[in-house]
Amino acid sequence: MTPRAARRRFLRTASLLSLAGAAGPLALNLAALGAASAQTGGYKALVCLFMIGGNDHYNTLVPYDAASYADYANARSNLALSQASLTATEVGPVASQGGRDFAFHPALGAFKQLYAQNKLAVVANVGPLVVPTTRAQYQGNAVPLPPRLMAHDWQVKAWQVCASNGPSDQPGWGGRIGDMLAHLNANSTFTAVSPGGSCLWLAGQNVAQFQASPSGALSMWSSAYDNALWNTGQAYQNMITSTGANLLENQIAQTNATSIAANALLASAMPPPSVFGTPTPPGNAFASQLNLVARLISARSALGSQRQVFMVALPDFDFHANLLWRQNQLLQGVNDAVAAFQGWIGEMGLDNQVTLFTASDFGRTLNSNGQGSDHGWGSHHFAVGGAVQGGTIYGQVPLTRFGVAEDIGNGVLVPTTAVDQYAATFARWLGVADGDIASVLPNIGNFGTGRYLGFMG
C-alpha cells in the first residue's frame, strides 16, 4: 500500500471512529431528526436493506404453479412451505418467466401488495461476479471469480464493495456514489448515513458515513464521568476540538468539531419518531432504523440534502437450523418495517424519489441439511418505490430443481445477474452520469450492454 493510500485509509477510519455511535466516551449517538420541511424538487435517496447472514431466497420467492411447485417441494423436502400457505401472496403468472406463477413468503403480504401496485420488482439470481460466468466456466476455473465464495465476510465485502478483484481497502459502492454526488448537498456530512452500525457499503473516498442510532437523543458522553466533564461547559469542548501537530490528534479533533456542529443542526429540526401518521410497528428494531431514515429525509431541506444513501441492517439470516420459523419471524419484521416506511415516504410525497432495495451475503442451498439450508451464491432480491418499474420479475428465476444449468451443486446458483448490474441501475437513477459509472463500479465494463437493468424509471 502506498503512503498516500495508507493515509486515506487511516483518515476514513479515524472519521468513522469519531462518529461511531456509543463505541466510546466521545462518540455520538444520533437520535432525532428535524421537523418536516418543504419538498426539495430534485431530492433522491437510496436505501439499502441488508439481511446479514445470507437470506434463504428459495423460500422468499416460491414457485406456485402446479409443475413448478412440485419441483420445489420435491427438492426442498422438509424445508418446503405448503402451497396452501402461499395462496394469499401469489402474484400470478409472470410473462418474463414464461408464464410461471410465483408467490412471496407468507410473511411478505405487504410485498405482494406493493408488487400489485407496480411499486416492487423482483430481480432474480443476483450475486457477486467479476465477469459473466457459466457453470462450466466456474467448474473449469476458466474466468476470474470473487474470492472465497460462500464465506460470510468475503461475500459481504463482495456485495458492498463491488471490486471483487481489486485492493482490499476499496471503499463501498454506496460511498463511491456519495463521493460522486456529495457536491449537490449543502452539507456533505449527511450524504451517507447508517443507522445500523459501521458498514463497508457507505465507506467513501471523501465522504465519511455518519453513523446513527434510532434509540436516543444525541449525546456527547456515554458515562457519568463524561457527563460531568461536558457539564463543565466550553472548556471541555475546547479540549476535544483542539488541533495539534499529531495526525491522529488533529483528525479526531476536526471530526469532533464536525460532529458537534452536526449534532446542533440535527437537534434544531428534530421531529419525534411519531411525527408520521403511519405508526411504527412496536418492538421492531428494523422499523426503528427505517423510521430514523424517514425522519432524516423529512429534514432534507434544513440539512441541505439533495442526494443521500442509507444502509439499514438486520442480523440472524444464517439459517443452518430452524429455518422455517426463524425466517418467518424475521421476514415478518422486514415486511412490517418496509410497509411502514413506504407509508412515511408517501406522507412526505416522495414515492418517486426514495428507492429501497434488498441485499444479503449470498443465497442458500436448495437441499436441506436436516434443519435448514447452507451457504450458496446467487439469490433473489427486491427493489421498492414509486420509481421502480414493478409488478414483474427481471432476469430469470432458474427452475427450482437440482441439475439446472445454473446449479453448481446442492442447488447453489451461479448468478445470472451481477451485483454490479444491480448497483449500476440504482447509481444511474440516483444521478451518477454514465461516464462515471465505472468509477463507482470498476468491473461494470465486463458486462457490456447489459450493464443496466430495466427496473428503474
Q: Scan for cell 412471496, then name that residue.
A: 104
Q: How confident is the model at residue 4 (pLDDT cuts 50, 70, 90)?
A: very low
Q: How confident is the model at residue 9 (pLDDT cuts 50, 70, 90)?
A: very low
39 pLDDT exceeds 80? no
Q: What is the pTM of this model?
A: 0.86
- pLDDT at site 300: 92
Q: Looking at the DSSP assignment, which residues form a beta bridge with residue 358? A: 49
Q: How confident is the model at residue 260 (pLDDT cuts 50, 70, 90)?
A: low
419 pLDDT exceeds 50? yes
User: Could you report the per-residue pLDDT of 193-223, keeping only the tens digit for each?
Assistant: 998 788 999 999 999 888 877 654 345 544 4
User: Could you report the per-residue pLDDT of 307-332, keeping only the tens digit for each?
Assistant: 999 999 999 999 999 999 999 999 99
- pLDDT at site 13: 40
More confident residue, 170 or 237: 170
Q: How confident is the model at residue 257 (pLDDT cuts 50, 70, 90)?
A: low
231 pLDDT exceeds 60? no
Distance separating alpha carbons of residues 132 and 144, to the nearest angstrom: 10
State the amino acid at position 391 in one-letter form: G
Distance separating alpha carbons of residues 53 and 51, to the nearest angstrom: 6
- pLDDT at site 398: 98
The stretch 387-408 carries a mean pLDDT of 98
408 pLDDT exceeds 90? yes
Count each helix (H run) and each strand (E run) in the chain, helices first.
14, 12
Q: Which domains does the chain have, with CATH numbers?
A: 3-451 (3.40.720.10)
Pair 421, 451: CB distance under 8 Å: yes
Q: How confident is the model at residue 59 (pLDDT cuts 50, 70, 90)?
A: very high
363 pLDDT exceeds 50? yes
> Cα 442–443–444 angle (5° rounding)?
95
- pLDDT at site 269: 63
Give percent of the chain above pLDDT 90: 72
52 pLDDT exceeds 60? yes
The conformation of residue 169, written as its DSSP 8-state character, comes to T
Cβ neighbours around 246 below 10 Å, total: 10
80 pLDDT exceeds 60? yes
Name the nearest CA neighbour of 14 among 26, 31, 1, 32. 26
Give percent of the chain above pLDDT 70: 80
Residue 427: left (phi > 0), alpha (psi -120 to 50), or beta? alpha
Q: How confident is the model at residue 33 (pLDDT cuts 50, 70, 90)?
A: very low
